[in-house]
Structure formats: C-alpha cells, structure tokens
Amino acid sequence: MTTYPLLDRIESPADLRQLDRKDLQPLADELRGFLLESVSKTGGHLSSNLGTVELSVALHYVYNTPEDRVVWDVGHQTYAHKVLTGRRKQMSTLRHYKGLSGFPRRSESEFDTFGTAHSSTSISAALGMAIGAQRDGIARKAIAVIGDGAMSAGMAFEALNNAGVADSDLLVILNDNEMSISPPVGALNKHLSRLLSGRLFNGAREIGKRFLEQLPPPVFELARRTEEHVKGMMMPGTLFEEFGFRYFGPIDGHDLEALVPMLQNLRELKGPLFLHVITRKGQGYKLAENDPILYHGVAKFDHTEGIATGASKVAGKLTYTQVFGDWLCDMAKANPRLVAITPAMREGSGMVRFEQEHPDRYFDVGIAEQHALTFAAGLACEGAKPVVAIYSTFLQRAYDQLIHDIALQNLPVMLAIDRGGLVGADGATHHGAFDLSFLACVPNMLIMAPSDEDECRKMLTTGFLHDGPSAVRYPRGSGCGAKPDPALTPLPIGKAQLRRQGRRVALLAFGSMLGPALEAGERLDASVVNMRFIKPMDLDMLSNIAKSHELIVTLEENSVIGGAGSEVARALENLGVAIPMLRLGLPDQFIDHGEQSQLHKEIGLTAEQIYERISARLASIEPIV
C-alpha cells in the first residue's frame, strides 16, 4: 500500500503552512500520486487535476484561506484543493451518491468559496467578493483561478473590463494548459517575473509614475506608450494591461520555487493583478501527458496499466452521442449546406469523425455558447444549414440568443441537445433538467425527444429538414438498443405513436420515459403513447385519449414545472377538455449527483414507483361505468 508521510500531516491549509518551503515539492509529488491512485478507483476528471497540484499547494501555502477567497474556474480542476482542505478521507466517495461533489460546492466546505461547474464565472465572482470586502473595510484577498479554456468566454472578458476600473484588490490567475500556447518559461522569464512582482521594481515604478505625471501631458503619454511597447515586445501581457491589470508572467506552474515567491510578492500589491501560469494537463503521469483528452474524464481504471483504448469500442449499444455523430457525417454527405458548430465540446458531443471528414464545415468556437448560437444564426442568414451540438445545461447560457437571434427571425438552426435529463455523477450543475421548460415557451420552435436510438436519427433528420428553428433533445448514454435505420428518413411532424392500448389510464411518455411507461402500463393495463413531439403536439391523439380514458399521466425527465406535462395540460385546455391529470417528472429541487438509476429511485421515476403513484391516484377517481 502506498504511503504519503507528508500528506498524512495535512488536515487543513493551516497544517500546510507549517511546512518548510523545501518540503512543498515532495508534498506536491505525494499529492499527485494520491490523486492518480484515488481517481483511478472512483473515476472523475484526471488530466486537469494532475496539472493543478503545485498551484493548489502554493495558493494555500501563501494565502490565508478560507479568509482569503480563492475561486476555482473551471471547477473540475479542484481535486488537489479538496484534498488539502480536509476532504482527503472522503475522496473515495467522489462523484458517488451522497459523496463528494466533483466540483466546488459552498455547502461542502468553507474553503469552497463559490460553486463553479460551468466555466468562466470566477473573475466576476471574485470581483464581487473583493468589492464586498472593501465595502466592509476588511483586508481580504480575492483570487480567481481560471483555466481549461475558460478565458475564451465573453463573460470572462466582461469581468476583466469591469475589474480593471474597479480599484479593488483582485488577483486573476490564468492557468494556461493549452499546449498550442508555448511562451518561454525558463530561467530568464522566471527572473523577469519575480523582478516585476517585487517591491523594489514596483516602488520604483510608482515613483517614476509620480515624477512623469508632473511633466507636460504629451511627454507623459509618450513615456507611458514607450513602457507598454517595450513590455509588449518582451511578454504577452499587453492585452491584460489594457484592461487595467498589472500583468506578471508567464511562469512555470509546476515550479514551486517560482510560484511561491511570486504569490508572496503579489500578496503585498494592491489593485487588479493578472498572473499568467503555464501548466501541463496530466503532469507527472506520462500516459495523461501524452493523451490529456483521453484522461480528461475517466471511469475506473488500472493506473499502472493505463486506459485500454479499445475497451470502450467493444460491440454493444450505441450511445445517443454516437448516433448523432454518425448521423451528422451521413447528412453532411447528402447535403453540402450542413455546417456543424460546437462550443468546445468536440469529443463530448461526438464530433471527432465529422471534424476529420469535413474540416471546412466544422466550427469549434470555444467556450462561448452565446456566440455559438448567434454565429449559427448568421450562417443561416447566408443559406447554410447550421447544426449546433450542445449540452442541455450549457444551452442555458445562450437563452437570449436562442430567442432573439434564432427563433424571432425563424431561422433554420437545429439544436442537437445532448445530456437531456439526469446525467449522473456531474450532478445538479450538469443535469439537463430545464430545457423542455425553457424551449416550449419560445415561438417558432420545433421540439422533439426520442425514445430510442432509431427515433433519434429520424428526429435529427426531421429537425434538419425543417425550415425553422428546431431542437432534438436526447439523454446521456444508451437507449434500449434499437438499431438506427441508415436511411435519412424524417418523421411526420407533430404525430405521436400509440404503443399500447389499455383502459382507464393513458400514459403519455416523452423521450427516455417510454421504457418505464411501458413497464408500468403493462401492470396497470393502461394505454401508452410515445409522444415524440413536445411542440407541436398531436392534438388528435390527445383528444381521442381524453375521450376514452379517466386519467392522463405525463412522464418526462425534465422539470415538471413548465415542462412537457404542462404543454399537454395547456393543449387539453385549448381543446376544451377537462380530465384528471398526473404529471410526473423532475421535482422542484436541484438533484444531487449519483448513478442515474439511484437518482430515478430518489425522485420516484422507476417503473415500480410510477405504477404505485398512478395506482394511488386511481384510487381517488371514480371509474366510469
């Protein structure tokens, strides 16, 4: 069994700050070894966390956390932070039901100062904390650690623009692990960065500034511009300086001998500061260093052997993501107007093959969901047929663009919405719980939810051929195993499918809930309808069902408030039909992380629970004689 003599002494950052500086790198090595061993047993995000070990150690060593506020962004780079802040013994429960979250969570620890699972929020939050402390007269530091591409989002630059003129003590650390950016991080650069952060240089800089301010304005402006041009030739920080930050770096984020004194110097400075840190995803584990994407999010594996890359390709059920990826390539061959857009989710959305086969029609816009949708709208204006592949939980970030730029103009943009419903271990921040609710109220939308893999492919074709905005919303993982028809065949729009004829009760199932609806329907001798379309609905089917049944039950893996069941109720009201209804779906609460089956049981959506809930409701209804 692996031993960790230094790590065993760390129950909190206060213990860390008792160590000698010379012990910090050995501690970091132990911490990295522990993370590799732990995550290989639980699954989770690996590459990004191996890359932030030294940065986590340095921050908690230099700053008085949690009194000083550290906001991590994106949240999946915080495992080392969790271990150092008293949660090491709980790491075996990471992302498991009732266990540790895979992201920072305020209710989990006082050291998690802000919940961050969607990216690019840290600078805004940390600025709010800095100004809050300033208003209360508290000498507290606020640090935003932003990385994994999160600087590509507009929100990060909105915050920089505000922070640069806010006159508050804010440190933004860019954890730059993109290997395409390779600035020098050697001895000279380390020396310059340490010099620029030191008291002597900054004191001299302030004295020089005060002297130059006494000179005529043209002379002062010439001196200021000269300084900026010289710095711009030496280092890549001019952009951040223009935002009003003092820029330091780039610095090697794995060199504690550089990191610690740099942070100690910065802790003494006032105003908005920007530190550029270069790290490597997968640092210290060669397999992850060589393939950080494969080791980004991992299931359980043997870390001594590595991930068997062929294991996930064993014949079995297709995932909905794979169905989409295959359809995308097939439709692109059939229709040259198709273009595909993703906000930095190439692998997760199943677009690797499409990029390889159609690089000129593939657009990864970075973590910029708002831009992705308006960019798609612009393409549609010029005759293209854009397909935007996006997770349900990330689509929330582009709601105004969906309404204002796509739906209002009735543009033919199709949204391929992955991870609709409960996603499992990523929890409340990533469950696709609200998309049917916020899509259904938008005019001009065509909205579909497939019950199996074949239906998913047909719906994708339906949405793509539709002359207006459309959305196909499918769940994480696999369906029932239905083999997709290779033909690009659309469905008749707005037509439901009666899957079982029964009596008294009609179960109207949307998307993933068809399986449990059929199972419960057998026990109840109920009718079961695969609704397929949330908008428009099959009004003829609804009318006929309402006339021949005593109770209508809607089932959806979406918030029951404002979701598909609400649309059924609205449609029946418009038809002038009054019939008892039972709407089953996600409750009015944020649902935690865990296996999908565990979560379905917790909220009462297993087939057995559906049967029991309907039986209880039926008992209160007088049967029609």
Q: Catalytic residue positions?
A: 281, 369, 397
Rounded CA-CA distance 295/118 in Å is: 20
Rounded CA-CA distance 522/502 in Å is: 9
Task: Fill in the amino acid letter for 292.
Answer: P
Rounded CA-CA distance 425/273 in Å is: 35
384 contacts 412 by C-beta, under 8 angstroms: no
Distances (CA, A) of 471 to 137, 342, 433, 435, 447: 50, 15, 15, 10, 5
Sign of CA dihedral 515, 611, 421, 106: negative
Distance of CA 490 to the CA centre of its chain: 31
What are the tokens at 377?
């709208």
Task: Fill in the amino acid letter for 217.
Answer: P
Strands 273-278 and 170-176: parallel
Distance of CA 401 to the CA centre of its chain: 18
In 3-state terms, what secondary structure has residue 37?
Answer: helix
Residue 144 parent element (H or E): strand 142-147
Query: Looking at residue 391, what DSSP letter applies?
Result: E
Rounded CA-CA distance 404/204 in Å is: 52
- N-to-C CA span, the chain: 71
Q: Report the b/e string of 545-563 with b at 16+ CB within 10 A.
A: bbeebbbbbbbbbbbbebb
CB atoms < 10 A from the CB of 489, how many? Answer: 11
Sign of CA dihedral 230, 233, 235, 237: positive
Distances (CA, A) of 551 to 76, 446, 544, 547: 45, 27, 13, 10
Q: Report the b/e string of 136-158 with b at 16+ CB within 10 A.
A: eeeebbbbbbbbbbbbbbebbee
What counts of helices (H) and strands (E) characterise the chain? 25, 19
